[in-house]
Copies of this chain bind each other. A is one copy, B any other.
């Protein structure tokens, strides 16, 4: 691996800040306190490319030396997605953070991997486009990682997930070759859908980067939706989490075009109040649905009437609206920041296990009731929240990682939720990805034959298994030896 680092420095010239081997930097790129799991290894170097050609050079060198490369952008992932279990070089896109072009008339935008989705939206407002990018995961997530995990967020129930917004990608392949998946048509039937293959592949098939190699051509052209005309935000409380989940399923089954439909249990509502995000307003600490309506004025009014009726049928009460736009934003921020608010309440030595599943709508109330009960029985500070309109929710559990029996209990509880979701025909992850943490769950979910197809594709595009190895699926034994040899 040291040879690879020397070669990278040699090939890219003695540019300052291209390669770091600072121990703190290595730690920050191989360990995450938000992650459910962290392998013992760290990357041996962090590379800071400025261009796609830099990335291609780095990958080509690593390919020659059979050294792993792991892409890194916002660093907010939860399943060890950017960890370095086989060492290698972490590629941090910190300096590739430009919005290259905004095509208002085509409603698309060209961006680099380290652009944050909130910065992108701020810029679109500043330019007066009237457009926005709707995919809204954790506040500090960036485009590169959002592509990696096929992320979603609160807007997904209305606007879909990351895969639905990518028009094309510039990708560095495992041997350093640069390709572009597509041009800029709004739809296409031309050949295999490489966009959807790379999106969600967590950097294991290619490294998504920027498009300097064709100056007029975009790297990652994201379709832009238009800002809705009227928005209204409300909360409604329920006597139990089961009632709240049932109401959410009924709203979706009535096909009301919700902008967002989120659930938070009484613990999370307490966290919102404690965080004082919406102070002086204090919310009832009961299982709650967060509702965002959007559309023309007339349609928002109609939607609200329908939803009030449905929630009342599920014993929903206290239907409260944010009183103005500022309170709307505060309330929604409280929801968006909920994981971070919870993290800020951690005591010394505590960790959080935060993971997600998704199930068909008809099973939502069942799984959420059982999971909440099992989670409460742990006797720990723990909560359920999530994108309930997609059948997707998260458990966040605080625990002491150094207490082995506590850690084991938490892991068993979470794995049971995953197993239950799969038995109910759901998925082990609705939006966080498989990463290092859920490879076993993916096998439970789709079976070894289907993971085998994924491995066949992986092997064909990355025969040396250098691209983010150990994520989504196990590295075959013979390749593990390769990586160990490179490390020694």
Q: Which residues of B contact A428 (CB under 8 A)?
A: 190
Is there contact, CB below 8 Å, between A446 and B197?
Answer: no
How far apart sit A151 and B430, CA to CA, in the bound complex (Å)?
26
CB of A425 within 8 Å of the partner chain:
yes
A413-429 residues with Cβ-Cβ distance < 8 A to B are: 421-422, 425-429
* Contact assessment for A362 and B225 in the assembled complex, using a CB-CB cutoff below 8 Å: no
| In the assembled complex, A60 has its CB within 8 A of some CB on chain B | no
Residues of chain B lying within 8 A (CB to CB) of residue A161: 187, 189
B-contact 0/1 string along A385-419, CB 8 Å cutoff: 00000111000000000000000000000000000
* B200 engages A197 (CB within 8 Å): no
User: Residue on B with the closest CB to A451?
Assistant: B191
Taking CB atoms, residues of chain B closer than 8 Å to A184 are 360, 425-426
Q: Chain B residues near A56 (CB, 8 Å)?
A: none
Contact of A295 among B156, B299, B422 (CB under 8 A): B299
Select which of B200, B442, B445, B461 is within 8 A of A193 by beta carbon: B200
> 8 Å CB contacts to B: which residues of A147-182?
149-152, 156, 160-161, 163-164, 173, 177-182
CB distance from A102 to the nearest CB of B (A): 12
Q: Tell me, yes or no, whether A298 is within 8 Å of chain B by CB.
A: yes
A330 CB to nearest chain B CB (Å): 27
**Interface stretch among A89-97, A105-113, A314-322, A343-351?**
A105-113
Cβ of A10 within 8 Å of any chain B Cβ, yes or no, is no
The answer to whether A472 touches B187 (Cβ under 8 A) is no
Task: Say yes or no: is A431 at the interface (Cβ < 8 Å to chain B).
Answer: yes
Give Cα A384–Cα B173 distance, bound, in whole angstroms: 40
Do the beta carbons of A149 and B298 come within 8 Å of each other? Answer: no
Choice from B190, B296, B427, B457 contacting A442 with Cβ under 8 Å: B190
On chain B, the residues within 8 Å of A197 by CB distance are 192-193, 196-197, 457
- Report whether A156 and B191 are in contact in the complex, using a CB–CB cutoff of 8 Å: no
Contacts of A107 in B (CB 8 A): 252-253, 255, 361
From the candidates B164, B192, B362, B390, name the one contacting A457 in the complex (CB within 8 A): B192
Interface residues as binary, A247-268 with B (CB distance below 8 Å gives 1, 0 otherwise):
0010011110000000000000
Q: Which residues of B contact A186 (CB under 8 A)?
A: 358, 360-361, 390-392
A432 to B361, CA, bound (A): 33
Q: Is there a chain B Cβ closer than 8 Å to A185's Cβ?
A: yes
A215: chain B residues at CB < 8 Å are none
Residue ID in chain B nearest A361 by CB atoms: B106
Q: Which of B150, B252, B425 contacts A185 (CB 8 A)?
A: B425
Q: Which A residues between 178 and 231 are near B, CB-CB below 8 angstroms?
A: 178-197, 199-201, 205, 217, 225-226
Complex Cα distance, B428 from A190, in Å, reads 7
**A2 at interface, CB cutoff 8 A:** no
Q: Which of B191, B226, B298, B299 contacts A446 (CB 8 A)?
A: B191
A127-149 CB mask vs B (1 if < 8 Å, else 0) is: 00000000000000000000001
- Chain A residues at the B interface, C-beta cutoff of 8 Å: 103-108, 149-152, 156, 160-161, 163-164, 173, 177-197, 199-201, 205, 217, 225-226, 249, 252-255, 295-296, 298-299, 301-302, 358-362, 390-392, 421-422, 425-434, 438, 441-442, 445-447, 449-451, 453-454, 456-461, 472-473
The 8 A-B pairs with the shortest beta carbon distances in the complex, nearest first, are: A298-B298, A226-B255, A196-B196, A460-B460, A185-B427, A188-B427, A105-B362, A106-B360
